């Protein structure tokens, strides 16, 4: 059953960056209606066997939702089939800025370049 669900979702059971990034596109900053990937908050994903590490930032170091966002990211990654452990590392360098957003995110938030 799980194998069948994985194939329907485009996941053949392997943990890949694409599968993790797809999962991360379901995570949001509660104050911004754009996912964290399109906001440019995810700086990298590391996969070692069944462990996944996510290196990311927030729009500001003083973000009051930092713990909530990091916890949400970890929970979502742990829902990916095959992932047994996940860690989220918040980093502040390079500092996030609006130019890191995707074109679609800038359009949605009505931000010009």
- Give the start-to-end residue ranges of the domains of the chain: 2-96
Q: Report how far apart the first and last C-alpha atoms of the chain are (Å, whole number).
A: 46
pLDDT of residue 9: 44
Reply yes or no on whether the pLDDT at 10 is more than 60: no
pLDDT of residue 111: 86
pLDDT of residue 1: 32
pTM: predicted TM-score of the whole model, two decimal places:
0.85
Helix (H, G, I), strand (E, B) or coil at 59: coil
Q: What tens digit of pLDDT does each residue of 26-60 get?
A: 999 999 999 999 999 999 999 999 999 999 999 99
CATH 3.30.300.130 describes domain 2-96: yes
Of the two residues 112 and 39, the one the predictor is more confident about is: 39
């Amino acid at each position: 059953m799980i194998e069948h669900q994985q194939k329907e979702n485009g996941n053949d059971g392997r943990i890949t960056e694409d599968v993790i990034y797809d999962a991360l596109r379901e995570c949001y900053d509660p104050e911004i209606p754009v996912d964290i990937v399109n906001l440019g908050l995810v700086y990298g994903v590391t996969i070692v066997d069944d462990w996944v590490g996510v290196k990311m930032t927030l729009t500001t170091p003083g973000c009051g939702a930092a713990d909530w966002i990091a916890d949400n990211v970890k929970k979502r990654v742990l829902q990916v089939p095959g992932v047994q452990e996940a860690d989220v590392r918040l980093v502040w360098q390079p500092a996030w800025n609006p130019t890191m957003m995707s074109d679609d995110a800038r359009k949605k938030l009505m931000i010009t370049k």
